[in-house]
Amino acid sequence: MIKLRKKFFLYLTIGLVAFSFLEIPTGFIRTKITLLFARENSLVMDLSVYLEDCNVFCADGATPLIVNVLLCDSNQKPVPYSRIQVQLNHFSAMMKPAHPVTGLDGQVTITLFPQEPYQFEQQSGVEPENETPVSIAFSARKATPIRWEGKMTNPPVLLVHGFQDTSESMVPLKDFLSGKALFVDSMDYDTNTNLPDMSDALDQALSDLMLGLKGRGIYAQRADIVAHSLGGLVTRYYTTQPSYLQKRNVHKVIFINAPHHGTPWAEAGAAILNSPFLEQLYPTSSLYTSVFPASINRGLNQTIQTGNIALENDEVVPIPSSMLSSWDIETKVFRIGSEPLTLEGVISNQISGNSRHRQLLFYTPVFEEIYYDLTHTLPYPQERK
């Protein structure tokens, strides 16, 4: 009996020592008891949002909405170990941590990644809006709830023109998409240089786009790109270089008549149009035989949603050259006109700017397809070794 008492007191002593070591620095039990007897709505919640100057966030799955929540009592004393309930209204998001709890300082930082697609049906006859009101309700036991109100929008869109062209060629598409309440910008770049330089120009255009939106109170970390012809190769090069892994600033890419496998007219065009760079677009050039195969996922980033549009009777980029079937990406094919192709016609049309290769940039059914792709989830390229 005496041995049992000694063993009991020994275990009790060990338990009290362990409890002291845990309770004294943390105050966990004391806090829970205090909360148990606290009055309803006696605790106060406060929050701050990063970035403070931005009230509109892009729903691309990557742009974070960071909220710091502070919980304290009526004497401004922090309340730790309290579970914060989060209710999202009119949008969905991935949340980290999944079950936020205040720390010793009464605070917890919650990061939300608004998920796409983020497109609402518009009523007939009502002008579309590019910003939709949303809110987040925060609550905790014995605390007065608090609410954040802001807006969500689709990712911005950057239009990238093709060879020996300018952003003017993208104006009809830009006007169409802007009329659908998307944020749209276009860029100009020198198409007679080389892919690294063109890629740098694209990087700068994306940075300028994000910075411009931030100045308008819109926070975006990724953009959608719609790229025509050579612009598609520039985009592929940019998003498949090791340096892109530090940026990850492209959410979605839609190609229009891009020579993914080169064009048989490249060598003739290089001579007639006095553009040595065009030789790089020949199917057997180093771009297709070594540069892209050595890039991320053999030249098509598998982390970027991808759409592909082609013209059945394109005189510059034949259908086989525009396909992305090696990455299991479906190509949506359109057709304009029915005239047979000749070398003279190809060169003449390229010089005059009347080629069918460019006519998709003025074709409303293509615009509607692009808008659909921008506002719906697209497939990701298959991973290749």
Same domain, 142 and 244: no
In this structure, the answer to whether residues 105 and 165 fall within a common structural domain is no
Q: What is the pLDDT of residues 290-340, one digit of tens each?
A: 999 999 999 999 999 999 999 988 878 889 999 999 999 999 999 886 654
In this structure, the answer to whether residues 284 and 142 fall within a common structural domain is no
The answer on pLDDT for 346 being more than 60 is: no
Q: Kindly state whether residues 144 and 166 are assigned to the same domain.
A: no
Domain end (from 153, 180, 199): 153
76 and 177 assigned to the same domain: no
What is the chain's alpha carbon radius of gyration, rounded to the nearest angstrom? Answer: 29
pLDDT-based confidence at 245, cuts 50/70/90?
very high
Residue pair 62/248 in contact by the 8 Å Cβ criterion: yes
> And the tokens for 141?
């036991």
Quick check: is 35 in a domain?
A: no
Q: Rounded to whole angstroms, how far apart are CA atoms 67 and 59?
A: 16
Q: pLDDT (tens digit, 9 = 90+) per residue, 251-289? A: 999 999 999 998 887 666 656 666 667 778 888 899 999
| Helices marked H in 240-323 | 266-272, 286, 319-322
Query: Quick one: average pLDDT of 147-160?
Result: 95
Average pLDDT over every residue of 163-169: 93
**Residue range of the domain that includes 60:** 44-153
The pLDDT, as a whole number, for residue 52 is: 80
Distance CA 27, CA 263 (A): 71
DSSP string for residues in 28-60: HHHHHHHHHHSPTT-BEEEEEEESTT--EEE-S
pLDDT at position 282: 86
31 falls within a domain: no
Phi, psi (degrees; rounded to nearest 5) at 71:
-120, 125
* Interatomic CA distance for residues 213 and 237, integer angstroms: 25
Domain-embedded: residue 191: yes
Give the domain-ending residue among 127, 153, 179: 153
Claim to verify: residue 99 and residue 207 sit in the same structural domain: no
**Sheet of 331-334, strand order:** 184-187, 157-160, 223-228, 250-256, 305-311, 331-334
pTM for the predicted model, two decimal places: 0.85
At residue 18, the 3 state secondary structure works out as helix
207, 341: one domain: yes
At 320, which CATH number? 3.40.50.1820
In this structure, what CATH number is given to the domain that contains residue 148? Answer: 2.60.40.10
Tokens of 306: 């991808």
- Identity of the highest mean pLDDT range in 2-6, 30-34, 217-221, 275-279: 217-221
Q: Give dist(CA 293, CA 298) in Å, integer.
A: 4
